């Protein structure tokens, strides 16, 4: 099968977990004997092969590439999002290349910078379409559904003008994949998709069963790995550690990842008085070898939270906040779910996990290893191949819809 995958960024441009998930899928499909083309964005054109995946990068047809413009002005952002609501220029470039490549099916993922206009262009030439919702792009131009550091339960007035064209355009998709039950329910509830066209396929982790002999020795080392941004809840984790220390339970914190220097400096100041290490950028295998358990204290609705399955694959117990798709990854044999994102509730859940680790750590590690089988690359690839075939079998060219969206 010839499979064209579209995503805003691709290796080595991996600003988040979505890009890693797309790379793992593309390489897994190649390993399964399929031809894969990835179409993505950059500042300049290039065509390369990465682990037998054909990768074509097109210059963005908008005022800037977000990856390389971290602090655009308010006016620049507004103009950018306005064009991105339906960027036909970019869509035509992408669609024309895929048509020439003669794909059997097209799989779209994160579309920020490319826009949903690509669906209309691809449908004009009869391409079967599968889309994976890895963020909230269809509902929110910022992709996070957050405003003023608060989670939006509904589509806010600012976002409605951007989300309406996307709500109409998604009708062109033949199969809609969500990376968690939460994401599926969220898009169904907002009326963006029909249940009969949707399914859930969890992300995979390619180093499953990365077993390492590990014993508890001294204070428990609690790890965090990810982008150091406020929505990830690192400040809440630090405050929870202070609270546990006041209760007489001292822990070590191991924080890996990068972020804005001013914000990281704030975190370091907040952590004064704690036993804490800031790693910066680090290889996940090196990080997980040094911690006893993982904390995922997210304050926003994580679409899935692939860092949790990385922890499971390394046999590390974990504590997570009750946000987005995270609760779906919690199994009582090796994890704890905080009652809320309040500091006290997260501290309580962390204390409970640490107490359990004191007398059943090896059992918890083994349960995590066994659970990691649910997130194998082979299983994910097989599930996507089913969806690709369903899209091919059911694909139509809804001329009226294409004309309307245009």
Q: What is the pLDDT of residue 211?
A: 62
Q: Which of 201, 190, 196, 199 is nearest to 166 (CA)?
A: 190
Q: What is the pLDDT of residue 406?
A: 38
CATH code 3.40.50.2000 region(s) in the chain? 2-204+377-405, 221-375
**Residues paired with 50 in a beta bridge:** 53
Q: What is the pLDDT of residue 162?
A: 83
- pLDDT band at residue 401 using 50, 70 and 90 as cut-offs: very low
- pLDDT band at residue 17 using 50, 70 and 90 as cut-offs: confident
For residue 209, pLDDT over 60 is answered with no
- pLDDT band at residue 212 using 50, 70 and 90 as cut-offs: low
Q: How far apart are CA 291 and CA 349, in angstroms?
A: 18
Percent share of the chain, pLDDT over 70: 95
| Region 234-246 average pLDDT | 98
Q: Are 286 and 319 in contact (CB under 8 A)?
A: no
- pLDDT band at residue 304 using 50, 70 and 90 as cut-offs: very high
Name the class of domain 221-375: alpha beta
For residue 207, pLDDT over 90 is answered with no
CATH classification number, 2-204+377-405, choose in 3.90.1200.10, 2.120.10.30, 3.40.50.970, 3.40.50.2000: 3.40.50.2000
- pLDDT band at residue 403 using 50, 70 and 90 as cut-offs: very low
| Region 169-186 average pLDDT | 97
In terms of Cβ atoms closer than 10 Å to its own Cβ (0-12, 13-18, 19+), residue 13 is middle
| Region 195-216 average pLDDT | 81
Q: What is the pLDDT of residue 210?
A: 61
**What predicted TM-score, i.e. pTM, was given to this entire model?**
0.91
Q: Are 150 and 71 in contact (CB under 8 A)?
A: no
Encode pLDDT of 108-123 as tens digits: 999 999 999 999 999 9
Q: What is the mean pLDDT of the chain?
A: 92
Encode pLDDT of 28-54 as tens digits: 999 999 999 999 999 999 999 999 999
Token digits of residue 165:
């064209």
Which of the residue ranges 213-217, 288-292, 359-363 would you say has the lowest mean pLDDT? 213-217
| Region 270-287 average pLDDT | 95
Q: What is the pLDDT of residue 213?
A: 59
Encode pLDDT of 311-328 as tens digits: 999 999 999 999 999 999
């Amino acid at each position: 099968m010839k499979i064209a995958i579209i995503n805003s960024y691709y290796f080595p441009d991996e600003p988040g977990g979505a890009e890693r998930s797309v790379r793992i899928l593309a390489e897994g499909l190649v390993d399964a004997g399929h031809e894969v083309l990835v179409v993505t964005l950059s500042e300049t054109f290039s065509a390369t092969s990465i682990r037998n995946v054909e990768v074509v990068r097109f210059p963005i047809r908008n005022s800037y590439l977000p990856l390389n413009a971290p602090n655009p002005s308010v006016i620049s952002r507004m103009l950018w999002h306005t064009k991105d609501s339906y960027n036909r220029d970019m869509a035509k470039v992408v669609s024309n290349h895929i048509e020439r490549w003669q794909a059997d099916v097209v799989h779209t993922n994160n579309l920020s910078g490319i826009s949903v206009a690509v669906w209309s262009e691809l449908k004009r030439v009869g391409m079967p379409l599968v889309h994976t919702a890895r963020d909230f792009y269809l509902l929110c131009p910022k992709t996070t559904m957050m405003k003023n550091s608060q989670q939006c339960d509904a589509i806010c007035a600012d976002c409605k003008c951007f989300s309406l064209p996307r709500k109409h355009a998604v009708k062109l998709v033949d199969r809609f994949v969500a990376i968690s039950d939460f994401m599926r329910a969220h898009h169904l509830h907002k009326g963006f998709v029909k249940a009969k066209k949707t399914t859930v396929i969890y992300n995979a982790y390619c180093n499953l069963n990365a077993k390492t002999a590990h014993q508890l020795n001294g204070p428990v080392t609690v790890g965090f790995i990810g982008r150091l941004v406020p929505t990830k809840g690192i400040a809440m984790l630090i405050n929870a550690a202070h609270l546990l220390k006041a209760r007489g339970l001292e822990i070590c914190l191991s924080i890996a990842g990068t972020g804005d220097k001013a914000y990281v400096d704030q975190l370091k100041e907040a952590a004064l008085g704690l036993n804490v290490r800031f790693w910066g950028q680090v290889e996940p295998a090196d990080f997980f070898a040094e911690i006893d358990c993982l904390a995922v204290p997210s304050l926003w609705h994580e679409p899935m939270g692939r860092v949790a399955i990385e922890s499971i694959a390394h046999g590390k117990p974990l504590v997570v906040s009750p946000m987005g798709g995270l609760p779906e990854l919690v199994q009582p044999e090796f994890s704890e779910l905080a009652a809320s994102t309040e500091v006290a509730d997260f501290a309580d859940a962390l204390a409970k996990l640490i107490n359990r680790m004191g007398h059943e750590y090896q059992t918890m590690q083994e349960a995590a290893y066994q659970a990691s089988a649910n997130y194998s690359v082979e299983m994910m690839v097989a599930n996507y191949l089913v969806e690709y075939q369903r899209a091919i079998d059911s694909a139509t060219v809804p001329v009226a819809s294409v004309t309307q969206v245009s």
